[in-house]
Amino acid sequence: MTKTLIWDAAFLKERERDAQEQAKQAQFEADWQQADLQFGREFSDANNGFKLCPLRACLRARRCMSDESLCLDLLPVRFSRATAQSCIEEIYAEIQEQRRDEAQMAEENADDAL
């Protein structure tokens, strides 16, 4: 007599789905942080923030090299939070579009390989 193995397939699917959702959320949060950092660097670069930055790496590179955007508070130019948020959302959209395009290319390459 063959023993029938039984398992909770629905639980395993739900657990896998939850893990995928957590991974996506972590990626989205990292993308928002990247967009925020990129905005700070671009704003600093546009206003020569490297000249005021206490980090030598920024001064040597003649552009923002910091992950902390230290010079933003030192710049004489200010921006409204609404303006910053709008720019950050635009950068985030660009990141997502790039990810989408890369995924589509990977799919096309996989289809071509078959």
For residue 111, pLDDT beyond 90: no
Whether residue 11 lies inside any domain: the answer is: no
Whether residue 61 lies inside any domain: the answer is: yes
Whether residue 12 lies inside any domain: the answer is: no
72 with 47: CB under 8 angstroms?
A: no
69 with 37: CB under 8 angstroms?
A: yes
* Among 36, 68, 70, CA closest to 51: 70
For residue 1, pLDDT beyond 70: no
The one-letter amino acid code at 82 reads A
Provide the sign of the torsion angle of the four alpha carbons 81, 29, 44, 71, taken in this order.
Answer: positive
Average pLDDT in the 70-94 region?
93
The count of structural domains within the chain is 1
User: pTM score, two decimals?
Assistant: 0.80
Whether residue 19 lies inside any domain: the answer is: no
Whether residue 13 lies inside any domain: the answer is: no
Average pLDDT in the 45-49 region?
94
Give me the domain span that covers residue 48.
Answer: 38-113
Average pLDDT in the 37-49 region?
94
